Amino acid sequence: MGIVDSIAGQLFGGGGAQSNVLKAVMSVLGNQQEGGLTGLVNKLKESGLGDIVNSWISTGKNLPITPEQIQQGLGSDMITKLAARAGVSTDDIASHLSQLLPQVVDKLTPEGKIPQGDLLSKGMDLLKGLMK
């Protein structure tokens, strides 16, 4: 079992589709050409979800997000791309992302701000903490 599968197991109690969704999300977050974490956060904020996303970044409680809000916030192109990468339907990816994104963004921003530099390495280090 790889690190991503282990993380998915910690987040969701199993691997499978959730593991594939996590891999798809990490591929986006680690890819600066796709905007990385900053791009994802900005996309959600521009769609009117700033209060929700800011709660994930802050050190307080994470506000929930619905699959419909995920679809609205990320747009059909990003949802379709993530669904294809994860091998699930667009409805399934939105549902998984509504559970996954608050936790991933929260773990990637432990000090209440988006880290600079090699986010993928920092993110994997932070997410490894879920396995302890």
Show the domains of the chain with their CATH numbers.
Answer: 3-131 (1.10.10.690)
**pLDDT for the residue 117:** 59
Residue 2 has pLDDT above 50, yes or no: no
Residue 13 has pLDDT above 70, yes or no: no
**pLDDT for the residue 36:** 82
Residue 46 CB neighbours (<10 A):
11
Q: What residues contact 25, with CB distance under 8 A and at least 6 apart?
A: 82, 97, 100, 101, 104
Tens of pLDDT along 47-86? 999 999 999 999 889 999 999 999 999 999 999 999 998 8
**pLDDT for the residue 111:** 82
Instruction: Enumerate long-range contacts of 76-82, CB under 8 Å, 24 or more apart.
Output: 78/28, 78/43, 82/21, 82/24, 82/25, 82/28
Q: What is the pTM of this model?
A: 0.75
**pLDDT for the residue 43:** 92
**pLDDT for the residue 132:** 45
